Copies of this chain bind each other. A is one copy, B any other.
Amino acid sequence: MTRVTTSARPPGRPRSGVNAVVFAATLSTVHELGYARATVDRIAATAGVAKTTIYRRWPSKGALIVDCLLDAFGPVPLEGASRAELMSSAIHWIAEKIGEPGVGDAFAGVFSDAVSDPALREVLSARFQDPYRLALQEALGEPEHRVLFFIDVVVGTLLHRMGMTGEPMVDADVAALVEMVLPHFADGAGST
């Protein structure tokens, strides 16, 4: 075991720490111009970075957006004494995140790209949805298909509003969403 195991820094020039700058540039560009006009060229220019640098780190625009969203969302805050409080806070949390400038546009944009791009769909599902799904499964003690249904309803509703109107869902409607979803997922309800 004379060789260093895994933590050895690889040879060559180290990467400069511009990921955070690129993420910020991505969100602001998407917010200003919309998803389709937020070209990688413009994002790179806004970040003060060469386009080739972005493609050296992310294999596609979709992968960049997914990483950017992962960075913007962070982990779910699964707080709340009761089951109802926990679900309510999770719904409000994601609604708030989707309402942040650029986040909802980027989410809806990459989601729509994924529809006709199986590879991107796999990335989106595995790297973005699965962590939240697993955390919710554990916190709620629900089987996988029920949590997937929960995510479909909450995220689908919020994205549909965002896509149809261009504006995030207002608080009153988010509250209505909570009121509608909670009884269906109360203990012992919705045995499907």
A residues touching B (Cβ–Cβ < 8 Å)? 33-38, 105, 108-109, 111-118, 121, 124-125, 129, 145, 149, 151-153, 155-166, 169, 172-173, 175-177, 179-181, 183-184, 190, 192
Contact = CB atoms under 8 A, between A and B. Distances in A.
A118 B35 CA distance: 12
Given A112-B112, A152-B169, A180-B181, 7 more contacts: A33-B116, A108-B115, A111-B112, A112-B113, A152-B173, A156-B156, A179-B192
Copies in the complex: 2
**9 A-B pairs with the lowest CB-CB distances in the bound complex, closest first:** A112-B112, A156-B160, A34-B116, A156-B156, A36-B116, A180-B184, A35-B116, A156-B157, A108-B115
Nearest to A37: B116
A105 B38 CA distance: 24
Contact of A163 (B114, B149, B165, B172): B114
Contact of A158 (B105, B156, B184, B190): B156
A153 B176 CA distance: 11
Contacts of A152: 157, 160-161, 164, 169, 173
A112 B112 CA distance: 4
